[in-house]
Amino acid sequence: MEELLKGNLIIIGGAEDKKGEKNILKEVCSKIDKEKDELVIATIATDLPKEVGAEYRSIFEKLGVKNINILDVQDRKDAHEIHNINMVQRASLVFFTGGDQLKITSLLGGTPLYNVIHESYENGCVYVGTSAGASVVSDTMIITGDDEESPKKCTLKMAPGLGLMKNVVIDQHFAQRGRIGRLLVAIAENPESLGIGIDEDTAIVVNTKGEFRVQGSGAVYVIDGSTISFTNVSEQNPDEILSMFDIKMHVLKNGDKFILNTRQPIKEEKQK
């Protein structure tokens, strides 16, 4: 990763704890002044925006956030509405819910709201995404691919994401849905990118120095394709099993860190 990130990100692998300790959602709330700042819940990815918006509003209210708005874009014309544009401009934190990541990019791409999202991020707004909202943060995102299958050469559909985080491909619900194969295919096709697989109830908290810390009950898997010496990936014989040599993988747990610019993991610092 050549450049430092513009702003802060929290990327959640989905199914974060909403009823117990809520540690990840507490971390989200800690990034803003709960009395003064505005938190926006973006329900763009989901087909149940009212229900999902109400659920997260209730959680964030119980965690002490006073100013909460719902950004509901279900049509491209909604991404031109001045009310929605102003909402994002005022926000200190924007939280993308789960659903369908392609819905986010297809509704926002090329619109004034898309431009404002990038402007607010560069001006320090914290962006948070869970599940589909996690995948969309990267510049290239996985749309569909085989779960719990051996990696095959050309079984993956990918598309441009929002591009808030460069040179990474993020996958979510990682261990729970057996997605190692599809992330390996993604990195075989895009070896310059880091593959980051995030388990459920697990997040990476990314800062402007280009470092992230793992938080949550699961693991984060980082796949580095820069060392690949051979791969058979191509459009010929797409159902053939993928072959790939000399790929590097790190598995990180709660408290471990990773430096994106140097592609170096750092183990959890024990409290003395």
* Residues identified as active-site: 131, 149, 173
The amino acid present at 177, given as its one-letter code, is R
Supply φ then ψ for residue 104, to 5 degrees.
-65, -55
The angle at the Cα of 155, spanning 150 to 158, to the nearest 5 degrees, equals: 125
**What token pair was written down for 9?**
């990100």
